[in-house]
Amino acid sequence: LDQLDAMIGALDEQIEQLMHPFCARRALLASIPGIGAGASATVISEIGADPAACFPSAEHLPSWVRLCPGNHESAGKRHHGARRTGNQHLQPVLVECAWAAVRTDGYLREYYRRQVRKFGGFRSPAANKKAIIAVAHKLIVIIWHVLATGRPYQDLGADYFTTRMDPDKE
C-alpha cells in the first residue's frame, strides 16, 4: 500500500511538472464552480489550452465531447434520443464537476433545479441524471468561453432566472 502511495505521489509530481506551463489557464478554470486542480488538468490535456483554435464556436466543443442530446429527424418529426458515447476521459470528469457545481450556490445550481423540474421532478432519478448532463453541457460551454476569452468566470447569480423574467424584482 505504501508503494502504491509512493507511485501515485510520483505521478502527481510528473503531472504538475507537465502542467506548469498552463498555470494561467488552470487558474482561469479554477474560477468556475466545481472545477478543481485535477479536473482542470484533465480538461487542458483533452481539449488543449486554447479550444478556440480547434473548435470554432462554443457549440462545437460539447458536440465533440458528446454532451449534447441525441437528435433524429425523419419526415419532419424530431425524435430526441440518448446521447452518443464520446470522449471517455473528459465526459466523466465533467459530470463529476457538474455534481460539485450544483452543490454551490449560484447560477449552475438554479439551472440544475430548473432542468430537474423540466425533466420530471426531484423524485425522478432519470430527471436528476438528465439535469446533471445538462449542467455538464453548460459547464463545457463555460469552459470554452473562459479559455477562449482569457477572462475568469463571472457567476450570473442564483437569482438570474427570476430577475431575467421580472427585471423589477431587483
Give the dihedral sign, CA 108/114/118/120. Answer: positive
Q: Which of 9, 32, 27 is nearest to 107 (CA)?
A: 32
Average pLDDT, the chain: 84
Three-class secondary structure of residue 78 per DSSP: strand
pLDDT grade for 78, boundaries at 50, 70 and 90: low
Under DSSP, the state recorded for 89 is: T
Q: Which amino acid is at 43?
A: V
Sequence-ordered strand ranges (E) for the chain: 70-74, 77-81
Identify the residue with better confidence: 116 or 159. Answer: 116
Residue type, 142: I
What's the maximum distance between 2 C-alpha atoms anywhere in the chain? 62
pLDDT value, residue 101: 94
Q: H or E stretch including 63?
A: helix 60-65
Contacts of 153 (CB under 8 A, 6+ apart): 28, 31, 32, 33, 142, 146
Q: What is the pTM of this model?
A: 0.81
So what's the pLDDT on residue 68?
77
Domains of the chain, by residue range, sit at: 24-169
**pLDDT of 80 strictly over 70:** no
Q: How many residues does the chain have?
A: 170
Q: Once rounded to an integer, what is the mean pLDDT over residues 22-46?
A: 87
Q: For residue 51, how many other CB atoms are within 10 A of its CB?
A: 23
Residue carrying C-alpha cell 459547464: 139
What pLDDT was estimated at residue 16?
A: 81
> What pLDDT, in 10s, does the model give residues 91-107?
889 999 999 999 998 99
Cβ atoms of 21 and 88 closer than 8 Å? no
Buried b (16+ CB within 10 A) or exposed e, 12-50: eeeeeeebeebeebbebbeebbbbeeebbbbbbebbebe
- Once rounded to an integer, what is the mean pLDDT over residues 80-85? 62
Give pLDDT tens digits for 122-153: 888 888 888 999 999 999 999 999 999 989 99
